[in-house]
């Protein structure tokens, strides 16, 4: 098997990005879930770059006749999943912000529990 420059560069970049994701997890900047998704995604990119014939198998398994169409459909599915995940994270952040704003507002108004208990 003769490797093309593409087949050398893409797995190296993928490995670099996977190591970066794990370093973010070690510094507690990413969750384990995000790190695992990042690892699986870039791992698949590396594997497909090394073995492009896997695209024919993916097209066959999904029932899509063209390899390019199979990639497009799978990519759209991944993007929908990513958008759904981001929407959930944004809603969680909005709830956290609401709690903090309420707590600050009650504290400034002198109505917080800690002030009443004293």
Report the distance separating Cα 42 and Cα 33, nearest Å: 14
Give the mean pLDDT of 20-29.
92
Residue 14 near residue 42, CB atoms below 8 Å: yes
Domain range annotation of the chain: 5-92
In this prediction, residue 13 carries a pLDDT of 94
Cβ(21)–Cβ(35) under 8 Å?
yes
pTM above 0.75, yes or no: no
Q: Which two tokens stand for residue 84?
A: 């759904």
pLDDT band at 76; cut points 50, 70, 90 = confident
Phi-psi bin for 51: left (phi > 0), alpha (psi -120 to 50), beta?
beta
Task: Check pLDDT > 90 for residue 2.
Answer: no
Tell me the pLDDT tens digit for each residue of 34-62.
899 889 989 998 998 899 888 888 888 88
pLDDT tens-digit map of 82-109: 888 889 889 999 999 999 999 999 999 8
How far is residue 35 CA from its own chain's centroid? 7
């Amino acid at each position: 098997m003769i490797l093309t420059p593409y087949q050398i560069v893409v797995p190296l970049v993928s490995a670099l990005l996977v190591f970066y994701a794990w370093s973010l997890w070690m510094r507690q900047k990413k969750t384990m879930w995000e790190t695992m998704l990042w690892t699986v995604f870039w791992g698949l990119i590396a594997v497909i770059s090394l073995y492009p014939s896997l695209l024919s198998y993916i097209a066959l398994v999904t029932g899509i006749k063209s390899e390019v169409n199979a990639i497009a459909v799978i990519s759209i599915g991944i993007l929908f999943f990513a958008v759904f995940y981001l929407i959930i994270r944004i809603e969680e952040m909005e709830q956290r912000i609401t709690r903090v704003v309420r707590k600050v507002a009650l504290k400034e108004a002198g109505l917080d529990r800690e002030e009443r208990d004293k």
